[in-house]
Structure 1
Amino acid sequence: MGKTWELDFYSKPILDENGKKLWEVLICESLCQPCSPETTGFRYSKYYPSTEVNSIALGQAIEEAIAEAGEPPTQIRFFRRQMNNMITKACKDLGMASKPSRRTLTLLSWLEERSQQVYPHEPGYDEAAAKSTSVKMESLPPQRLPDALIGQKWAFVSLEAEAFADFNEWEIGFGEAFPILGDKSLVPDLSPNSSIPGLIIFSSRALPMAAWISGIELAFLRFDGKEQPRLILETGPNESWILANINDRKTQKEAEGFEAAKTKASGVHFLAVQSDPNSESFAGFWLLREVELA
């Protein structure tokens, strides 16, 4: 399987000599890969004046990135829906697949790093503008899962962070993970014994369910305690699905504990699918992270 890239093309809190914001193309190899294969950690960045912000310039930047990386990606993920038309056109003109996604965790980590270590040292840095660059993405009302994809049982569980070190050796039908420990970690606050909460869904149709989940661009799980308490699966750029309605206080307390543990783990958690509790393999396993978009 080829590699996934994550891309951003947006204005920065840096003013040029005319007082206009500079724009920047950021392209990085995603560390969110199936079964955590070896990655090069490829990165590409380039500033642009606002007068050169168009799909042609973006296409040229992607071509430059491909030349530097030595090979094209299989797909490109991006999270800014307001840039959808430009990014989609640039990729389409190059014959490349692109998709809006909130699973751009490598890019978001890099953006945070650049916001702290790079942009403040650039000539023309505008501190006031830097404080107003976060993006709030509102999800659409959650949809009901297709009947064939509703699990017979589910359970809240947890694993220590160090358990994911050999993720690529697990027996998994469909899955994706990212480094949470070591030099390439996207979550520097975690330690080997940090508790990572998760949800396991048990279903007699585990493999079809995992296949469906793998195609909807997972973002994160959350507990919605308003009105009817329920577990929500956030996917794509703004879609969401009702995984389960919670009808008893005991399970609601477990869901609240899941949210608290997720917060303590810097948003990291997981979703797994198995045929039954005694299975030693997973039809699907995804490491997720709820993170504020930059």
Structure 2
Amino acid sequence: MGSIWELDYYSRPILDENNKKIWEVLVCESPLDTHTKADSLFRYAQYCPSTQVNSGWLRTALQEAINQAGEAPLKIRFFRRQMNNMITKACQDVGIPAQASRRTLMLNQWLQQRMEQVYPQEPGYQEGTNASVRLESPLPQRLPDALEGQQWIFVTLQGADFAEMHEWEIGFGESFPIEFANLSPSARIPGVLIFSPRALPLAGWMSGLELAWLRLDTNKGTRLILETGATESWILANMKNPQTIAEAKAFEEAKQKANGVHFIGVQFDRQAESFAGFWLLQEVNLP
């Protein structure tokens, strides 16, 4: 199986000699399972002068990253929608699919670390936020009728349970070591299991969505929302039963206590010992 990379190409809180913001490309490898070691993941960083910000410069940097890594990734994820055209073109020019995605766990952590420890040491550093441009997100969509789960329940696993995830029978899915989210083996990880006679088509459809995280929405009733891609979201469930609503609120509270980590699983029925799909997720605050 090949690798997946996460990419950010944006201005940093550093000014050059002409009082213009310096840009930077960051590339890091996505952890794909619970046994990934942090020091085994590829990383690449390079500053870019503001006068050279274009897809051509980014294409050259990507080619250099590929040369350093020794092989190209299967795809590249990026979360900044306003950079969509430039990033997509540069990736196409080196023959790699680009995917808008909020599943950028390692990139988010690396950016935070550089904001705190690297950029303040640079000449021209400007203290303060380096906020990204905020774009409106579309309203949540209904799941396709043929893919709606017949039943679903809230469940909880211990962090230690995920150490054996490589032994589980899973059709579609992705995970990461819970240690990457600063969680201990004793941490309680909440999740949702979906049961459907069309479990495999449902899991296959979900696998192409770049799953980001689940969240509880109480603005229009009580709904469980699945966030995907860079902006998309889906109504996984509408809740009206008081007990179910209480369970949903408990799920959301447990998720916050687990640093945003949670999971979603898809099975044929409650007696199934395998998963058509299983994803370990983390809700994060993107820059």
TM-score with structure 1 setting the length: 0.94
* Aligned pair partner of 2:164 in 130, 151, 166: 166
- Please say if 1:252 is aligned against 2:245: yes
Q: What is residue 64 of structure 1 aligned with on the other side?
A: 64
**CA 1:108–1:137: 2 relative to 1, 3 Å:** farther
Q: Which runs of 5+ in 2 are unaligned?
A: none
- Provide, for residues 25-52 of structure 1, a one-character-per-residue CA deviation record: whole Å limited to 9, x for no partner: 0001111x26766783110000011001
Q: Is the 8 A contact 2:215 2:252 kept in 1?
A: yes
Count of paired positions: 286
Identity of aligned residues (%): 61
Q: Which runs of 5+ in 1 are unaligned?
A: none
Q: What is residue 292 of structure 1 aligned with on the other side?
A: 285
Compare 89-98 and 61-70 and name the one that shifted more.
Answer: 89-98
User: 1-side partners of 2:52 and 2:228: how far apart?
Assistant: 32
**CA 1:160–1:76: 2 relative to 1, 3 Å:** same
The CA RMSD measured in Å over matched residues stands at 1.5
Q: Secondary structure of the equivalent of 1:222?
A: strand
Q: Secondary structure of the equivalent of 2:178?
A: coil
Q: Secondary structure of the equivalent of 2:72?
A: coil
1:134 deviation in Å? 5.3
- Please say if 1:73 is aligned against 2:73: yes
- Provide, for residues 228-264 of structure 1, a one-character-per-residue CA deviation record: whole Å limited to 9, x for no partner: 2111111111011111110111110110111101111
- Provide, for residues 114-141 of structure 1, a one-character-per-residue CA deviation record: whole Å limited to 9, x for no partner: 111111111111003xx24256564311
Q: Is the 8 A contact 2:12 2:130 kept in 1?
A: no
Q: What is residue 255 of structure 2 aligned with on the other side?
A: 262
User: 1-side partners of 2:154 and 2:133: how far apart?
Assistant: 30
- Please say if 1:223 is aligned against 2:240: no
Q: What is residue 116 of structure 2 aligned with on the other side?
A: 116
User: 2-side partners of 1:215 and 1:36: how far apart?
Assistant: 23
Paired residue type of 2:253: A
1:209 deviation in Å? 0.6
Q: Is the 8 A contact 1:142 1:241 kept in 2?
A: yes
Within a 5 Å distance, the mapping from 1:90-101 to structure 2 comes to 90-101=90-101
Q: Is the 8 A contact 1:29 1:42 kept in 2?
A: yes
1:166 deviation in Å? 2.3
TM-score with structure 2 setting the length: 0.96
Q: Is the 8 A contact 1:171 1:282 kept in 2?
A: yes
Within a 5 Å distance, the mapping from 1:76-225 to structure 2 comes to 76-128=76-128, 131-133=129-131, 136=134, 138-181=136-179, 185=180, 187-188=181-182, 190-225=183-218
Q: Is the 8 A contact 1:6 1:76 kept in 2?
A: yes
User: 2-side partners of 1:134 and 1:88: how far apart?
Assistant: 18
Paired residue type of 1:48: C
* Aligned pair partner of 2:275 in 265, 276, 282: 282
User: 2-side partners of 1:260 and 1:137: how far apart?
Assistant: 27
1:227 deviation in Å? 2.5
Q: Is the 8 A contact 2:216 2:225 kept in 1?
A: yes
User: 2-side partners of 1:74 and 1:138: how far apart?
Assistant: 29
